[in-house]
Chain A
Amino acid sequence: MTVEAAEGLAEKVRGALRGVIDPELGYNIVDLGLVYDIEVAGDNVAIITMTTTTRGCPATSYLKDGARDAAWSVPSVEFVDVKLTYEPPWTPQMMTAEAKQHLGITDGDGW
């Protein structure tokens, strides 16, 4: 797979992940900054590195499974591996401007 093809597929996966919302914040996990990385390996394996807004969140397993299922719905994705990490820990500053605006969050220093 070429680099361009891998990047294109990663973008499609990113788009599919926008269909997965964080239930508490009510916004998609991509724009909330919960998806840290999407990598597509040569055999069309999507490797997603993601986090949750708080460690121990009861929604964790659902978010992880939801991300896996959404990515798997992308045509030509053969396998999905979702890795959960808390390094670095998520902060509201990781949201996109649109997500911040949606939640009424103002930019500021630190957390």
Chain B
Amino acid sequence: MIGATLSRWTMSYFAAALVALMTAEGLMAAGYGYPAAAIEAPETLILVHIVTIGWLSILMCGALFQFVPVLIARPLYSDALPLPTLGLLLTGLVALVLGFLQLAGHAPAHFAFFPAAAVLLGSGFALVLWNLGRTLWSARPLPLPARFVVVGLFSVGATVFLGIVFALVLGGATSHSHFVTLTSAGVPIHVIAGLGGWLTFTALGVSYRLLAMFMLAPELSGVTTRGAFYVGTAAIAMAIIGGVAAVCTEANLQTVLSVAAILGLGAFLLYARDMQHIYRARKRRTIELNSRMAAVALGHLAAVVILIAVLLSFGALRQHIAAVVFLTCFGWLSGLGLAKLYKIVAFLTWLECYGPVLGKAPTPRVQDLVVEGRALKWFVLYFVMVWVATAALLLGEPLAFRASAGVILIATVGIVAQIVRIRRLADVSATARLPAGVHAPRLLFSLVKPV
């Protein structure tokens, strides 16, 4: 089979991820976690993991089950695994949250929540790696965008490994000296592997293909693209492998991470050059909302890089690391995620509903499922308030942060409402909505016929 097909459970992943996002935003607005609590407090860690696992990782997994087959023009290894995988990831996240609540003294002490989280999340991500890994393995030699995904999968493996070590140490299941040392000093590696290696590097790889596809731009595989891949891979390897080695041998972790940061900056500059080329060389001069908002999210990635550089030059990175992580998670990763969700849900819904009657009945276009003008205001509000919230964190204004988090939640609800309307075909004209043979789509999963 040359083409890829619909993944039945992708919508379930997206729905679960959006619920996690809105939950996290609600908690921030309610003053839960940082800045009301310390950055290493259990409440903050609950918030961070709802965002990184519940929202970003589950969104990424759902998207990869659908788009890795597109990257390599091969079917997914198993269509049966994504549902149990989602179950393991969600129950693992619940166990992890309970573990942190236990740490804060808000959950019964006799339940082994951390070891349970380690098993459940470890199993869930292992299934992700197995399914996507087997899919990618079948398509060697891989095109460049898929190689980014491979590095991202290695990174999530490293992130989860470190997370399991932390959970087992915190849960009292092990007191191995290297594991204890890793738990006390390895958090920066865990964060860089997760946000940088897994979420960012994978997003960069997929963006090469999706942005070119949606804007009719040439697909790149030249010197800058290969450079971005190899330099970025070196940065991630330095941070993860070098970082763990430095912690275990009591070498200077800061030096290792500084080298990784320089390499990361080089990879970012090469990637930025490629993106500039893709946007400039696109054949569709009028680009859709998702591509415009993706460009805004890419601008936030640049802002993250600049913010890190500025804070480093003032020796204030450690003091303001929360603002950097917030801007990374909400300006860059969530901004890109919401922008692409707006497109992907419309595209997949169209395929599910109208694909089977193509050639038999008149069908609307994908763009007929959306009303971009209505969604635009929510995206603008979202991005503006991310800046306000970041500024509030930098200036140490917790009340302003909570207020802006509340408005971010409102903007997110506005975007989610648009996505639900897409799924309900609410904006398709009544005459074109349900031609003979078309069934209204289910909200949470896709009705897919075997091909």
Query: Measuring CB to CB, which residues of chain A are less than 8 angstroms from any residue of chain B?
Result: 19-21, 23-26, 52-71, 73, 84, 86, 92, 103-106, 110-111
How far in angstroms is the closest Cβ of chain A from B73?
3
Q: Verify A104–B286 contact, CB threshold 8 A.
A: yes
**What's the nearest-Cβ distance from chain B to residue A104, in Å?**
5
Judged by a CB distance under 8 angstroms, whether B55 is at the interface is: no
A103, B83: Cα distance in complex, Å = 39
A58: contacting residue among B70, B285, B363, B367, CB under 8 A: B70
Q: How far is the CB of A106 from chain B (nearest CB, A)?
A: 7
25 contacts between A and B (CB under 8 A): A21-B365, A23-B355, A23-B363, A24-B366, A53-B216, A56-B4, A56-B71, A56-B72, A56-B73, A57-B3, A57-B213, A58-B70, A58-B347, A60-B3, A61-B1, A62-B355, A65-B356, A66-B359, A66-B360, A67-B359, A73-B359, A73-B360, A86-B2, A103-B284, A111-B281
- A35 vs chain B, min Cβ distance (A): 12
Q: Is the CB of A19 within 8 A of B365?
A: no
B213 near A55 with CB under 8 A, answer no
Say whether, besides A23-B350, A24-B366, A57 and B286 are in contact (CB < 8 Å): no
Tell me if B214 is interfacial: C-beta within 8 Å of chain A: yes
The answer for the CA separation of A58 and B69 in the assembled complex, in Å, is 8
Q: Specify which of B70, B73, B216, B356 lies most central, judged by the most chain A CB atoms within 10 Å of its CB.
A: B216
Contacts of B69 in A (CB 8 A): 56, 58
Q: Which A residues lie within 8 Å of B367 (CB)?
A: 26
Interface residues of B in 161-219 (CB under 8 A from A): 213-214, 216, 218
Contact B363 A21 (CB under 8 A): yes
Structural contact, B216 and A92, CB atoms closer than 8 A: yes
Question: A26, A68, A92: which contacts B365 (Cβ < 8 A)?
Answer: A26
Most buried by B among A55, A70, A103: A55
A65/B359 in contact, CB under 8 A: yes
User: Which of A53, A58, A111 is close to B5, meaning CB atoms less than 8 Å apart?
Assistant: A58
Most-contacted residue by chain B among A53, A69, A71 (CB, 10 A): A69
Q: A16 to chain B: closest CB distance in Å?
A: 8
User: CA separation between A110 and B216, bound complex, in Å?
Assistant: 13
CA distance in complex: A4, B50 (Å) = 67
| B390 close to chain A: CB less than 8 A | no
B301 / chain A contacts, CB cutoff of 8 Å: none
CA distance A56 to B75 in the complex (A): 9
Docked-complex contact A104 and B359, CB < 8 angstroms: no
Complex interface: chain B residues within 8 A of A20 (CB): 358-359
Min distance, Cβ A48 to any Cβ of chain B, angstroms = 11
Residues of B within 8 A of A70 (CB): 359-360
Q: How far is the CA of A67 from the CA of B355 in the complex (A)?
A: 11
Pairwise interchain contact A24-B214, C-beta atoms closer than 8 A: yes
The minimal Cβ–Cβ distance linking B67 to chain A, given in whole angstroms, is: 8
Beyond known contacts A26-B368, A66-B355, A73-B360: 14 more, CB 8 A cutoff: A20-B359, A23-B351, A23-B355, A23-B363, A24-B347, A54-B70, A54-B213, A56-B69, A59-B351, A59-B355, A61-B1, A61-B5, A62-B351, A104-B286
